[in-house]
Amino acid sequence: MKLSRFNIVIIIGFLAIVGVIIMQLFLINNAHKLAKKDTEDKIFFALQEVLEKLYKDNQTGLLVANQVEKVSDDYFTVNVNYEFENTVLEHYLISEFQKNNLDVDFEYAVYNCTSDQMAFSNHINSNGKIEPIKCPTCFTKNPEYTYYFAIRFPDIKQNYFKNLNQYWIFTTVLFLVLIIYVYSVVLMLKQKKYTELQKDFINNMSHEFKTPLASILIASNYVKQQNEIKQNPKLLKYNQIIVNQTNKLNEHIEKILYVAKTESKQMLIDKTNFELKPVLDLLKDNIILKYDKEIDIKINIAKPFKIKADEFHVYNILFNLVDNAVKYTETKPEIEIDVHENNQKLQIQIKDKGCGIPTKDLPFVFDKFYRVSRKDISNIEGFGIGLSYVKKICDLHRWKIAITNNSDKGITVTILINSKDYA
């Protein structure tokens, strides 16, 4: 299956987040090991200090090395090798644990060689408070030692995780990001599916409309040539209304098709070299033919510029702009098309003396389906896609386009063509 760029980005993003989470879990595991080792080192050091103090009280030196033995993660034994007082041991344990910043609960028991049993002592919490022992059965005998004590840390594993709170917070945040990312991707995929269905519907319906419209136009033009219609002004007028409305509907369908093509990235530009002046002359003639009113269009062009662009789309966008200038002028339309070089760019300016555009709407006029609300002109029909199509064609050619209000009346649309696209 061929992966689209959209799917590749989704997969890369998902792998990146999963990779970060795996790294975070790896860091947590390492931090847990370091915390465990650090705590065990402190325990060994504190118990060794306790052992040395006991031997110092007895005025003897340590007999052998490794008298502190780790039985399990939470259980240690200390071989003392001579009798000692429980109260002294407890005092040394509390003081050494506090000195080494071991804020953990612990329980200890002393082996009684007379009874061959572990003599249970106390449970001491992290702040030094003494409580009764909670797990007498947790202490086991060591047959290798005669005088020794055992110590266990019932909550030491929880203490390891408690020290990793910061890491767990970061991990939770990462998991939330992953969940939000997956949810967003699911929504985008659904939206993409709906958008594709919408595009297919628009394309199919538009093409289905164009076939009967073409038939209506052919029939209307045939009827128009009949003597009975020519001799009857009322029927001729009705027939012309059919033709005009059919052309208008066909124009709207073409715009919808343009939008569908741009959204599905089916619109391609075919660049050729052509003269701009004949295109502007044809545009002028077609605009005058389209409207049954007097229109003044002036074309000022410095020289016969040749441009490299898609002639079909260039004609369409210029026609669109001039057509808007005519539609949004209440009086006699006066339009000036000025073509000249400016800072190594070819500048096409279309000026009109229409009603202009409110300043608050200027930043949005190229947005798809955006329509400027006008109380003064209410009979203008459209979908708000003409200027978005103009902007799309300019973007495909890598040209710049801008719309500004004139100081007196109307607007000026400026298109800047790159130096490499004209001669």
Convert the pLDDT of each residue in 17-37 to its tens digit.
Answer: 788 878 878 887 888 788 888
pLDDT (average), residues 293-306:
90
- As a whole number of angstroms, the distance between CA 296 and CA 354 comes to 13
pTM for this entry: 0.49
**Mean pLDDT of the chain, nearest integer:** 82
Percent of the chain with pLDDT over 90: 15
Higher pLDDT, 376 or 323: 323
pLDDT at 1 over 50: no
pLDDT at res. 84: 81
State residue 375's pLDDT score.
57
Q: Which of 160-174, 216-230, 248-262 has the highest mean pLDDT?
A: 216-230
Q: Which residue has the higher pLDDT, 409 or 378?
A: 409
Question: Is the model's pLDDT at 270 over the cut of 60?
Answer: yes
pLDDT in tens, 195-204: 777 777 766 7
Average pLDDT over residues 98-123: 82
